[in-house]
């Protein structure tokens, strides 16, 4: 099954705490959904440790793919010794990490307002790859960063979800909107009970092939042999909302009809 076409995007989550399971990667899920419904094709979600060489490798790998237009990193922008994401981005781009005066002003403004002096650790929040642009953080202290390479955009955002989400909406989305295709993306769903996923498999494939720009996926919720329950989802893209919704509905109707013919039950399609 293929995802609907669109400009490519890579999401890079950075942090040992994600790799060891201490923190669930909700940032990637949130960003993946937002980008998908903007019309981007999320090609990779990568989790990397707090090692600049590893992060730099992943950024280079993303840049090596011509389809990738947007790269978003989350995490590793804080004041501690292991927050080294921007060092890694600088390494990947072959430029030095240096004090960004605009970022410094943003950081100092916030600490001044809180009655706290600038320290070496706080100044670290303003160290950015040469040529990058600082992004205002409306929630926390650490600015984000935007670097551009041959028309591709590399955004580095904090790992704290509230900060990341606010910065995406205020700083990232307006900048990537012009890159997004002029498409509407709609997702529809339904539940099927009493039919094993393996029995529905050929009809799911037929549904996805019924039109271009469709992604149809089954999500088992019960037991394959004892009480199968399957959540069906269809993601469709089209020039307008009504056409995309119609395409997704029609795809699920193929599966819905098959489920009933196989002796199962299927709910109404919901979009």
pLDDT of residue 4: 58
- Asked whether 79 and 120 are in contact (CB, 8 A), the reply is no
The residues near 212 (Cβ < 8 Å, ≥ 6 apart) are: none
pLDDT given at position 3:
60
Burial of 260 (0-12, 13-18, 19+ CB in 10 A): middle
> Distance between CA atoms of 60 and 50, rounded to whole angstroms?
16
Compute the distance between CA of residue 9 and CA of residue 70 in angstroms, rounded to an integer. 5
SS3 176: helix
How far is C-alpha 10 from the chain's CA centre?
7
Between residues 112 and 224, the one the model is more confident about:
112
How remote is the C-alpha of 143 from its chain's centroid?
20
Work out the percent of the chain whose per-residue pLDDT is above 90: 93
E strand or H helix that includes residue 265: strand 265-266
Using the predicted structure, report yes or no on whether residue 96 has a pLDDT greater than 90.
Answer: yes
**Rounded to an integer, what is the distance from CA 56 to the centroid of its chain?**
19
Span 44-64, average pLDDT: 97
Please tell me the distance from the alpha carbon of residue 231 to that of residue 97, in angstroms, as a whole number.
Answer: 48
Average pLDDT, the chain: 95
CATH level 3 topology of 184-266: Alpha-Beta Plaits (3.30.70)
* pLDDT, tens only, 128-157: 999 999 999 999 999 999 999 999 999 999
Average pLDDT of 235-246?
A: 94
Task: State the first-to-last Cα distance of the chain, in angstroms, to the nearest integer.
Answer: 20
CATH number assigned to the domain with residue range 8-179, chosen from the 4 options 3.40.980.10, 3.50.30.50, 3.30.210.10, 2.60.40.2470: 3.40.980.10
Q: Which residue has the higher pLDDT, 103 or 211?
A: 103
Domain boundaries, the chain: 8-179, 184-266
pTM above 0.85, yes or no: yes
Does 1 score more than 70 pLDDT?
no
Q: What is the pLDDT of residue 225?
A: 72
Assign 183 a pLDDT band (cuts: 50, 70, 90).
Answer: confident
Provide the pLDDT for residue 2.
Answer: 55
- Residues 155 and 246: their CA atoms lie apart, in Å, by 35
Q: What are the start-end ranges of the H helices in 94-196?
A: 101-113, 120-123, 161-167, 173-176
Residues 6+ apart with CB under 8 A from 79: 121, 122, 124, 125, 142
């Amino acid at each position: 099954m293929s995802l609907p076409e669109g400009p490519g995007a890579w999401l890079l989550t950075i942090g040992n705490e994600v790799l060891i399971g201490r923190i669930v990667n909700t940032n990637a899920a949130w960003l993946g959904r937002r980008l998908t419904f903007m019309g981007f094709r999320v090609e990779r979600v990568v989790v990397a440790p707090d090692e600049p060489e590893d992060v730099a490798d992943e950024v280079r790998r993303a840049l090596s793919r011509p389809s990738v237009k947007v790269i978003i990193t989350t995490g590793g922008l804080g004041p501690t010794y292991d927050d080294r994401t921007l060092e890694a981005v600088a390494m990947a781009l072959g430029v030095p990490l240096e004090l960004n005066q605009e970022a410094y002003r943003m950081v100092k403004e916030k600490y001044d307002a809180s009655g706290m002096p600038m320290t070496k650790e706080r100044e670290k929040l303003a160290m950015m790859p040469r040529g990058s642009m600082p992004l205002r953080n409306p929630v926390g202290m650490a600015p984000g960063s935007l670097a551009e390479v041959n028309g591709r955009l590399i955004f580095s955002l904090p790992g704290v979800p509230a900060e990341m989400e606010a910065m995406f909406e205020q700083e990232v989305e307006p900048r990537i909107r012009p890159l997004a295709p002029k498409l509407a993306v709609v997702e529809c769903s339904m539940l099927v009970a009493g039919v094993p996923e393996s029995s529905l498999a050929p009809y799911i494939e037929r549904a996805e092939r019924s039109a271009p720009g469709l992604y149809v996926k089954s999500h088992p919720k019960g037991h394959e042999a004892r009480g199968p329950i399957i959540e069906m989802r269809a993601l469709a893209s089209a020039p307008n909302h009504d056409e995309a919704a119609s395409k997704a509905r029609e795809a699920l109707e193929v599966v819905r009809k098959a489920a009933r013919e196989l002796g199962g039950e299927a709910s109404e399609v919901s979009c």
